[in-house]
Amino acid sequence: MLDEQCIFPKSTDKSYVEKLIANQSKHPKFIVPEFRTKSDFAIVHYAGRVDYSADQWLMKNMDPLNDSVVFLLQNSGDQLVAEMWKNAEFASLGMTDQTDYVFGARTKRGMFRTVGQTYKEQLSRLMKTLQNTSPHFVRCIIPNYEKKAGVINGPLVLDQLRCNGVLEGIRICRQGYPNRTPFHDFRRRYELLVDRGTIPPGFLDGKETVKRILAALEVDASLFRIGQSKVFLRSGVIAALEEMRDKELQHFVIQFQTCCRGYLARRAFKKLLQQVSAIRIIQRNGLAWSRLKDWNWWRLFAKVKPLLEVTASEQAIAAKESELKSLRDTLLQKEYTLSDYTTRIEQVRFLGFYYLNMKRENSRLGNFLTRI
C-alpha cells in the first residue's frame, strides 16, 4: 500500500494514513488513537503496542541510496568503510535475478525499488535462510540502564522477558506436558530407581513397564499421561527424576569405588605380609649363618655338600641309563613279537587264498562230473 501511494503523484502522508485506516481499521491488532496528535496509528505487536507517526513516510520510501555513492563507498581506500558497504545493494536498479518472494510481488531487473520493497526482499531472504537452516536464538537481557555490575532492574528484566516470549513459554510449559519420552528410553534411563522385583526379567511391555516405574516412584497421576508410545510429563518431573537418578548413580559409584579400594588394599596387605615373611626368613638365615660360619663341622659340611650333590647327580644319570637300557630291551622284544605276528598273518592269508582256490576247483570239478 505504501508503494502504491508513492506511485500516485498527488499522494500525501495524510492520504496514506486515511487509506490505511479504511482498509485495516477492523483488524484486532490495528488501533486508531482517539487524539492523533503524536501518532497516526498503532499496531499491537507480539512485544506490545507500538505507536507510529507517518510523517514523511512517502518521501523516505522514495529516497534510496544513490548508486554512485554506494559504488564509491564499496571501493573506498579505508578497509573498514569498504567492509561495511561490501554487501550493500544498488537501490535504483534491481541487481538480483527475478525471484518470487513471500511478501509482495517480485521485482524485475531494471525497475526502481523503494525502501519498502528492499526491506521486503531482505526479509524474504532472511526467512528463506531460517527455513533452510537450524537457527539457535540467544536472548540477551539488559539488567539495568546504567550498565553497572550487580544491579538488576526488576521491572526492566520482566518487561524484556515478556517481550521475548520467555514468560509465555514458561506459562505454556507449566500448563501442559512439555516433556515427552518414548517408553523404551524412559525404562532404560529410570529403571534403576525401582527395586529389582518391580519389573520381572524379560518383561517387554513398555507401557506397563512405565506405569510400574511411576507407581513405584509414587509420582502423582496428575503429573503425567501415558500415550500409545510415549509418556508425557509435566514441567519439573524430569528434573526430579534426574536428581534421583544422579543420587542412585552416585551410590553405585561409591559402592564400586569401595569394592575396588578394598580389593587393592587386600592385595597390598597380602604383598606386605609376603615381604614381612621374606624379611623374617632372611633374618633367620643370616642369624644362623653368623652362628655357624666359624664352626669347623659346618665348614666341612659346606665343602662336602657340593660333592654329595655331584654324586647324587651321577647316581641319577646311572639310573636313567639303566632305565633307558631296559626300555631298549623291551622295545627289541616288542619288535620281535611284532615280526612273529606279521609272519603268522601272512601265512594265514596264504592258506586262506589257497583254500579259496581249492574250493573253486572242487566246484568246477563237481559241475563237470554232473554234466558227464
If asked whether residues 101 and 217 sit together in one domain, one would say no
Cell numbers for 325: 637300557
Nearest CA to 90 out of 105, 110, 61 is that of: 110
In the predicted model, what is the mean pLDDT of residues 147-159? 90
β-partners of residue 182 are 230
Whether 193 contacts 213, CB under 8 Å: yes
- Residue 342: pLDDT band (50, 70, 90) is very high
Q: Is residue 210 part of a domain?
A: yes
If asked whether residues 166 and 227 sit together in one domain, one would say no
Q: Is the model's pLDDT at 32 over the cut of 60?
A: yes
Q: Is the model's pLDDT at 368 over the cut of 90?
A: no
Q: Is residue 205 part of a domain?
A: yes
State the residue range of the domain holding 171.
137-175
pLDDT per position as a tens digit, 221-241 = 888 999 989 999 988 899 999
Q: Please identify, among 101, 117, 132, the residue that sits at the C-terminal boundary of a domain.
A: 132
Instruction: Quote the pLDDT of residue 101.
Output: 42
- Residue 243: pLDDT band (50, 70, 90) is very high
Q: Is the model's pLDDT at 3 over the cut of 50?
A: yes
Q: Is residue 303 part of a domain?
A: no
The Cα 117–Cα 95 span in angstroms is: 13
Q: Output the average pLDDT for the chain.
A: 84
If asked whether residues 186 and 216 sit together in one domain, one would say yes
Instruction: Quote the pLDDT of residue 279.
Output: 95
Q: Is the model's pLDDT at 358 over the cut of 70?
A: yes
3-state DSSP call for residue 217? coil
Q: Is residue 241 part of a domain?
A: yes
Instruction: Quote the pLDDT of residue 98.
Output: 40
Q: Is residue 155 part of a domain?
A: yes
The Cα 306–Cα 161 span in angstroms is: 97
The number of domains in the chain is 3
Instruction: Quote the pLDDT of residue 112.
Output: 60
If asked whether residues 45 and 106 sit together in one domain, one would say yes
Q: Is the model's pLDDT at 96 over the cut of 50?
A: no
Instruction: Quote the pLDDT of residue 64.
Output: 64
Task: Return the minimum-mean-pLDDT range out of 52-56, 105-109, 155-159, 224-228.
Answer: 105-109
Q: Please identify, among 73, 100, 132, the residue that sits at the C-terminal boundary of a domain.
A: 132
If asked whether residues 82 and 115 sit together in one domain, one would say yes
If asked whether residues 76 and 163 sit together in one domain, one would say no
In the predicted model, what is the mean pLDDT of residues 201-222? 88
If asked whether residues 8 and 120 sit together in one domain, one would say yes
Q: Is residue 36 part of a domain?
A: yes
Instruction: Quote the pLDDT of residue 66.
Output: 66
Task: Specify the amino acid at residue 322.
Answer: S
Instruction: Quote the pLDDT of residue 341.
Output: 92
If asked whether residues 18 and 98 sit together in one domain, one would say yes
Question: Any residues with CB less than 8 A from the CB of 275 and at least 6 apart, and which?
Answer: none
If asked whether residues 205 and 264 sit together in one domain, one would say yes
Cell numbers for 184: 523404551
Q: Please identify, among 262, 293, 324, the residue that sits at the C-terminal boundary of a domain.
A: 293
Q: What CATH number does the domain containing 118 carry? A: 1.20.58.530
pLDDT per position as a tens digit, 33-78 = 877 667 788 898 877 788 888 888 888 888 666 677 778 888 888 9
Q: What CATH number does the domain containing 216 carry? A: 3.30.70.1590
Q: What stretches of 8-103 show up as alpha helix (H) in DSSP?
A: 13-24, 57-61, 67-74, 79-84
pLDDT per position as a tens digit, 252-289 = 999 999 999 999 999 999 999 999 999 999 999 999 88
Q: Is residue 309 part of a domain?
A: no
If asked whether residues 211 and 233 sit together in one domain, one would say yes
Instruction: Quote the pLDDT of residue 85.
Output: 80
Number of CB atoms found within 10 A of residue 58's CB: 20
Instruction: Quote the pLDDT of residue 99.
Output: 45
Q: Is residue 49 part of a domain?
A: yes
Q: Is the model's pLDDT at 94 over the cut of 60?
A: no
Instruction: Quote the pLDDT of residue 104.
Output: 43
pLDDT per position as a tens digit, 295-331 = 888 888 878 877 777 777 788 888 899 999 999 999 9
Q: Is the model's pLDDT at 354 over the cut of 60?
A: yes
If asked whether residues 198 and 279 sit together in one domain, one would say yes
If asked whether residues 67 and 14 sit together in one domain, one would say yes
Instruction: Quote the pLDDT of residue 48.
Output: 78
